[in-house]
Structure formats: C-alpha cells, structure tokens
Structure 1
Amino acid sequence: MTPGIALIPTTAAGVHLSTGGFEAVVRGLSSALAALAPHDVRQLRTPPVIAREIIEKVGYHRSFPHLLGRVSARADDGAPAESDLVLLPAGCYCVYPVYAGARLESSTELSVEATCFRQEAGAEPGRLRSFRMREFVRLDTADRCLAWRDDRLAAARDRLAELGLETESEVASDPFFGRGDRMMRMLQVERGLKIELRAEVAPGQVQAVASGNYHTDQFGGLFSITGPDGRVAHTACLAFGYERLALAVAHRHGADPHDWPERVRKVLGLEVPA
C-alpha cells in the first residue's frame, strides 16, 4: 500500500503502526458502524486490560491459554509476579460484570469499542495481536436475543455491502464456549451459535471481518443476571474488527481513498470531491 492508508509492521509480529490515512478510515468505520444501533444505546469504551478474575470466571484462561496476554508485575520482595490484570481479548467481557446480580426490567443493548489482544500464532495480513473492535451486546430473553443476533447480522451485511465488500457467511464453532472436543464443536455449528461474515483482506486471504454470536445463558448464569422474563438472561453480540475491515476496503478499492467510489467515501464520512 501507499503511505496514504497502510499498516506498518514493527519488530513484533502482528503488531503494526497505522498511518493517518488508515486512522481516518477507522474513524469512518467507527461512525458508520455505530449508526447500526439505536441512537440512545448505552456507549462504553474499554481499557486494553481487564481484571484477571473476570477472565478466569468465564474460563477463557482454560480454553485459550495460548491466546491470553498476561500482565507481569513485581511483588513486594522484588520477585516477578502475575498482575491482577490481563490484556482484554474481547470487548463484551467488560459488559457482563456491570450487570452482575441484576434483574433486567427490559431488553438491554450496549455499544462497546475496545482495544483487544490475542497472542496469535500467525501474522498474515489481518492477523493482528493488537487490534480494535466495535461490539454490540444484547442481554435479553432467549428468543429475543437470537432474533436480535440475526437481525443485526442482516444489517451488518447491508452496511458492508455499502462499502463495496462482498462477504460470505460461515457458521463456526463459538469460542465463548471454549474449544471443547470435536462433538461439542459439531453441536455448536449445528445450533448456529456463531456466524462469521468473511471478506478478502489481501490477495487470496479471506478472514472474518464481523461475527454474530449467540451465547445462550452462558454469561447470564455465570454473572447471575436475570432477564425480563424472570429467567437467567441470555446474551448475544455482534462484533467488527476495525483493522480487518479497513484492510478489506482498501483491498477492494485500492490504496488511495481519494480514488474510492463516492458512495463508499460518503458512508465513511471522508471528504467527497465536489
């Protein structure tokens, strides 16, 4: 890519600097995706770290020990020690503790922006260890959570089409339940708990740029959240990766945003020539 929109590799694999042009596209994506939620939805911005006890409570450290980034500190005696923090692997993990022990009076939806980290083994285009996400999170009854997930996925496909992206849907096993055995993964796919929207981010490189996840009552049970129907709350989320989406748009339309179709520039709020 030209310097206008680019991720610049550093000495750490999967960690990049971004140019001003790239950041302008990310800001445009942030605004364009935020508009998918109701205007009065609760907005949250997460820090890049989360309490280790929360990640242990949801079992991420057992399911994905190879992806988790731990924070080291020094004990009082100067010896290395593990901090009470870990690097945040997904934005929605910050939401559930906020509602721990709550009885929801109505459907609850949030829009979350997060800086996340996963210790990925590969470093092909779009496979980043440090990346940013937009997530919409829903806490509700079982039927309304699933209907919301499917409705938001349809809206996401339409918005990505407005950016000129051709996406394909793929049912995948849901990482929120851990890797599990082969039978568990097959059951997850059969139930359609996770649906990815995949697009080409580089020549021959197709990756998930968004995903819709239905968690059933996994998190409602862990955090003792009661839904509007008096039962354990169900949850769902719709997540977008900013860097992957920016790479996908640049791959589709070229390196220079000035040459992108007017409709794409308009969706992203970029300057449109008169």
Structure 2
Amino acid sequence: MPSYRLDLDVPVSGAHRDELHRRVYYLSESITGFQLVTGAPGSDAVGAVVVTTEQPVDAEALAKKLRHVVDTEVLPQLHTPPKVLWNSPSDRTPRTGTFAALLADGVVHEAGPGQVALGTPALAALDAFDGLLREIIDEEFGAVEYRYPTLLPVTALHRSGYLFSFPQHLMFAARLDGDVDTYREFAEEAAAREDIGDRVLHRCAPVDRCLPPTMCYHTFDQFAGATLPAENTVVTAKGGSFRHESRYHQTMERLADFTIRETVFLGTAEFVREARDRFRRRATELVEQLDLAGRCEVASDPFFAGAATAMQVSSQRLLELKHELHLDVGPGESISVGSFNLHEKHFGDAFGIKGPDGGTVYSACVGFGLERLTYALLCQYGWDVDDWPVPLKERCRNTIRAGRGM
C-alpha cells in the first residue's frame, strides 16, 4: 500500500495528541492506516502524520486537509489538565487478547465493520447491566420509559445541531424514489450485477429519515413545541444507536451499531444538574459494588468540521458539562462506558420545550453503552458466569436458565 508523510506547519503538543488522533481517518476515505510522528528526541509533540492508502493519492491535497483540521480544530483548543472526578478502588487487571478469544469461543460474532453479534453469556450480561441501571433510574427518578422506533426524522438532528457538529458520524436511511420505472430499472440492474452499492443513491427519494446516534434525540423530538405539565420530567429509553466510526471501530469498544440506555432530564437548572450528578454517584457506587476497575473524568464530545469546533470542545471542558465513566479493558487501556451531560438550555431552545411557567427548560442526559459495559466485564472477569460479581451472576444465571440470551 502507498505510504505518505504529511508534515505539519506547527507541531501538535502532547496535550492535544488525542484530539489529532481522533480526526485523521475522517480526513479521507482513502486512508487505511496512520501513525503520529513526534519531532525531536524526548519530545511528545507531533510533527507529522504518516498515512497509508489503498491506492495512490494526491499527497499534497491530503496534507492540506490535515493542516486545515489541525489549524482550525486542534491547535486553538484550550489545554485543560485532565480532571479525574472518581477512581475505582478496584485493582483488578484486565486480560489481554479478550476479543480474539471471545470470537474463538463463539461468545461473539463479528457481523461486519463495527457490528458485533452477542451470544451466551455476553447477551445475558448486557441485559443484566440494563436491569441494574433501570433499578437506579426507578429508585432515584421514577422515569417514564418509552420504546422509540429506530428511524429518526432528519429534522430532529438539524434542530439539535448534530448535523453540523458531528457530520462524520451521520448515517442516513434512504429509499428508492416511488416510481414504477425506478423500481423496474433498479430490479433489472440488481439482478444483473452483484455490487450495486454505487448504483443506489441516484435513484433515491429525498432523505427524511436517519439512524439515531443516541436515544435522547427521540425524546427531544417527542416534546418539541410542548409545554411540560410538571416542573421536572424524566424519560428513559433503550435502543439501537448508530455512528459511522470510519476505521476507528474496533472490537466491542467502538461500534457503528450498538445499544444505549439513556435517561433525559428536563426541568430547572438546579434539577437537571443535581440529577446528572446523583446518577453519576449511583453509577460509580455500582461499579464499586461490581469491583470493576475504572475512573470518572471530565470529557468532551468529538465535534468535527465546524467553524466553532475548537471553542465547543474547550467550553465543554471548562464548564465541565460532560463527565465520562471509563472502565479498563487492557493494560493501560480503558473505554468510556457512560456519559453524564449537561446541555444548559440548548435543546430546550432548539426544540421549543417549555416548562409550566412558560420558560425554556434546561436539560441533561445520562447514557450507557451496554456493549461497552459488557466488554469491560468480559475483559476484567472473563466469560465464566461463576466468576462474575454476585449481582450479575444471579441475574445472568436466571436469564440463561430461562432460555433468554441463548
């Protein structure tokens, strides 16, 4: 495969290394691999990126894209030292090679890029985690639960700002234009060739549905234009979520197709902040009870390609609007399994959601990636249910015995 060294005009400091790393694959579909190259010996500043591609490309055009992203999205970010809010007392050490072993034992099946099917006992663990979280939600907040349809109106993501804040993650749902000639021509072409992926879009109707990147957008869309009868409202939902992760997808850590349990808080500023923080405390207590190794820290979302990207990332960290729960999955490796987010009035304004006093509501949400939680458990405990912590062991034995998760 061709390889190219893309030099930066200004080195990226070690403090911003992760922000650069999370953007390289989104520069171009042609990139199949990359390595960040540091400058002088002993320096952690990145001076170049070496990329590999499937076919020869215009290296200067690629370098221009890289420099633009670095200059507009990475370098302007304010450096804020990592802030850890909580550390697990567990000293449990995750095993290595977990995902390969799970595949070999048939516990999981890799269905495609960023897609993993779960078998026994992983599926039982996923359901058990959701049950434990649902108990917290019921005990603390008395949330109303909804099961939303999979498809989400594109207008919901437009109103929310997602379309122009995270364009790299978008996945749309298309259909053929409703005309008999279109159907006939497509059917004839599909019957005549195996690969039709590049022959679909020009025959499609305008796109008005997309796959949800997370559950909360369903909730905000549900209450769009509404005046809530109560001062504070709590809604929870579990469902499939979808994000294009380019080549960043790996194992069960970062999937394109995954399951989220998400809870949305709508109400006063004091209520949503207190609810967010209370849920975080209950979640860390659960992690301690399960003796899982990890931490909770201030974080930021992967804003990309927008004029205000650097400002959004910096302000989110400075205001501590986003907290993430990380669990260990290998020596020196962890994944975010949950996030605790304050939105201020952003979604209340965007969707026109009012409180009983007529004022715009504040909002917060707490979401957990159930496959990620399951993977962290498998990395730290293995997949013999008898070795799992008691709260999970009891639930999973009952699930498997009942024939669910088989």
Question: What's the TM-score once normalised by structure 1's chain length?
Answer: 0.90
Q: Are the aligned partners of 1:112 and 1:134 in contact in 2 as well (CA < 8 Å)?
A: yes
2:370 is aligned to 242
Q: Are the aligned partners of 2:168 and 2:304 in contact in 1 as well (CA < 8 Å)?
A: no
Tell me which of 210, 213, 217 is aligned to 1:93.
217
1:124 is aligned to 250
Q: Does 1:211 align with 2:311?
A: no
- Give the Cα–Cα distance (whole angstroms) in 2 for the partners of residues 159 and 246 of structure 1: 14
2:280 is aligned to 153
**Counterpart secondary structure, 1:37:** helix
- Give the Cα–Cα distance (whole angstroms) in 2 for the partners of residues 83 and 208 of structure 1: 32
2:291 is aligned to 164
- Give the Cα–Cα distance (whole angstroms) in 2 for the partners of residues 250 and 37 of structure 1: 24
Task: Give the CA deviation at 1:263.
Answer: 4.4
Tell which deviates more after alignment, 102-111 or 1-10.
1-10
1:52 is aligned to 154
- Could you list the per-position Cα deviations for residues 46-79 of structure 1 after superposition, in whole angstroms to 9, with x for gaps in the alignment? 2322111111221212112221111121113422
Q: Are the aligned partners of 2:110 and 2:117 in contact in 1 as well (CA < 8 Å)?
A: yes
**Counterpart secondary structure, 2:121:** helix
2:174 is aligned to 72
Tell me which of 350, 355, 358 is aligned to 1:227.
355
- Give the Cα–Cα distance (whole angstroms) in 2 for the partners of residues 50 and 195 of structure 1: 26
Q: Are the aligned partners of 1:201 and 1:245 in contact in 2 as well (CA < 8 Å)?
A: no
Identity of aligned residues (%): 30
Q: Are the aligned partners of 2:167 and 2:305 in contact in 1 as well (CA < 8 Å)?
A: no
The alpha-carbon distance between structure 1 residues 165 and 85, as it changes in their structure 2 partners (threshold 3 A), is: same
**Bigger CA radius of gyration:** 2
Tell me which of 169, 174, 182 is aligned to 2:310.
182
Q: CA RMSD in A?
A: 2.3
Q: Are the aligned partners of 1:5 and 1:22 in contact in 2 as well (CA < 8 Å)?
A: no
- Give the Cα–Cα distance (whole angstroms) in 2 for the partners of residues 202 and 18 of structure 1: 20
**Counterpart secondary structure, 1:66:** helix
The alpha-carbon distance between structure 1 residues 177 and 233, as it changes in their structure 2 partners (threshold 3 A), is: farther
- Give the Cα–Cα distance (whole angstroms) in 2 for the partners of residues 21 and 103 of structure 1: 44
Instruction: Give the letter for the 1:22 counterpart.
Output: A
- Could you list the per-position Cα deviations for residues 191-238 of structure 1 after superposition, in whole angstroms to 9, with x for gaps in the alignment? 011000111234543110001000010111111111255421000011
Unaligned regions of 5+ residues in structure 1, if any? none
Unaligned regions of 5+ residues in structure 2, if any? 1-100, 183-202, 400-406
- Give the Cα–Cα distance (whole angstroms) in 2 for the partners of residues 178 and 193 of structure 1: 21
Instruction: Give the letter for the 2:107 counterpart.
Output: A
The alpha-carbon distance between structure 1 residues 123 and 177, as it changes in their structure 2 partners (threshold 3 A), is: closer
Q: Does 1:8 align with 2:109?
A: yes
- Give the Cα–Cα distance (whole angstroms) in 2 for the partners of residues 228 and 237 of structure 1: 20
Q: Are the aligned partners of 2:125 and 2:392 in contact in 1 as well (CA < 8 Å)?
A: no
Q: Which has the higher strand share?
A: 1
1:196 is aligned to 324
Task: Give the CA deviation at 1:30.
Answer: 1.4
1:260 is aligned to 388
The alpha-carbon distance between structure 1 residues 109 and 199, as it changes in their structure 2 partners (threshold 3 A), is: same
Q: Does 1:133 align with 2:235?
A: no
**Counterpart secondary structure, 2:360:** coil
**Counterpart secondary structure, 2:265:** strand
Question: What's the TM-score once normalised by structure 2's chain length?
Answer: 0.62
